[in-house]
Amino acid sequence: MKTITQLKTLRNILCPLKRTGKIIGLVPTMGALHEGHCSLMRKARRECDIVIISIFVNPKQFGPQEDFDRYPRQKKKDELLAQKENVDIIWHPSVDQIYKKDFLTYVEVERLSGLLCGKSRPGHFKGVTTIVTKLLNETTPDILYLGQKDGQQALILKKMITDLDFNVKVKICPTIREKDGLALSSRNAFLTEQQRRESPILYQALQHAKKDILSGERNAQRIIKKIRAMITKTTSCTIDYVVCVDKETLSPLKNIVGSVMIALAVKFGNVRLIDNILLKV
DSSP, collapsed to helix, strand or coil, labels residue 59 as helix
List, in sequence order, the alpha helices (H) in 94-187.
95-98, 117-120, 124-139, 151-163
Is-contact 218 256, C-beta < 8 A? Answer: yes
Those residues whose C-beta lies under 8 Å from the C-beta of residue 270, and which sit 6 or more positions away, are 67, 190
Is 37 considered catalytic here?
yes
Phi (first) and psi of residue 177, to 5 degrees: -125, 160
Give the whole-angstrom CA distance, residue 166 versus residue 162.
7
Of 37, 92, 124, 208, which is the active-site residue? 37
Please name the helix (run of DSSP H) or strand (run of DSSP E) that holds residue 75, with its range, or none. helix 75-84
DSSP, collapsed to helix, strand or coil, labels residue 147 as strand
Catalytic residue numbers, as ranges: 37
